[in-house]
Amino acid sequence: MYFLFAYLLPLLYDPYFWTILIAIAVSSWASMNVNSTFRRYGNVENHNGITGTEAAQIIMSSVGINDVTIQPIAGSLTDNYNPQNKTLNLSEPVYNSTSVAAIGVAAHEVGHAIQDKVKYMPMSLKTALVPIVNLGSNLAMPLILLGIIFGLNQTLIRIGIICFATVLVFQLATLPVEFNASSRALKQLRVTGILNEDELPMGRKVLRAAALTYVAAVLSSFLQLFHLLLLFGNNNRNN
């Protein structure tokens, strides 16, 4: 027990340890929060008795979207809108469910379809960043590891850190897109009467919990980037 305490005590004063710990804690909390919220309101059936698929169809029809295909996909909370092939992909717990949670999630994805229809600029920016962030995220850690292997080569490490930073930039660009999609979803749920005044606050809580996962992702990436800067910035100064 003493040896364990002697090992852990120095970590309490180590900024690297805290950045990692906080990043893990934030991501875990956001994931548990969205899952618990979805389960809670996944047990509340909407007053109209319509499914997530039907809600999506009603909203798209009301805003004049007729070129988007709705299809089921495997998994839970894997729902997404694909602007490339105009598909609204709803996960199994949403596609045929009549719960308030399912309605909220389906409406949110339709919010993205509406953004695509009106050429919402932040969504276009996010889409343009996808190939850049894919390349950056794939190269970041290999470049940093190569920099370490080749005697803390600062050029490779810096390029790796810049590549990792593209992930944070992408996540920051994602925030307004997600919040706006939720705002559009709530507006349409109210206008179409899919959810009544008692159900709308429940739908809002589902969407808020989902949005917090994106905020948590930004904070987590920022802390990881900060960790890399602390770690290799110190190494650079020591050299």
Q: Calculate mean pLDDT across residues 158-181.
A: 95
pLDDT digits (tens, 9 = 90+) for 83-129: 999 999 999 889 999 999 999 999 999 999 999 999 999 999 999 99
Cα of 31 vs its chain's centroid, Å = 10
Partnered with residue 71 across adjacent β-strands are 89
CA-CA distance, 51 to 63, in Å (whole number)? 19
% of the chain at pLDDT higher than 90: 69
**pTM of the predicted protein model:** 0.84
- Lookup result for tokens 């050429």: 119
pLDDT digits (tens, 9 = 90+) for 172-188: 999 999 999 999 999 99
- Choice among 54, 92, 109, 199 that is catalytic: 109
CB 120 within 8 A of CB 177: yes
CA-CA distance, 206 to 19, in Å (whole number)? 28
Does the pLDDT of residue 2 top 70, yes or no? Answer: no
Within 8 A by CB and 6+ apart from 36, the residues are: none
What was the pLDDT predicted at 68?
96
What was the pLDDT predicted at 116?
96
Q: Does residue 109 have an active-site annotation?
A: yes
Determine which of 6-15, 102-111, 146-155 has the lowest per-residue pLDDT on average. 6-15
CA-CA distance, 192 to 209, in Å (whole number)? 23
Q: Calculate mean pLDDT across residues 9-34.
A: 71
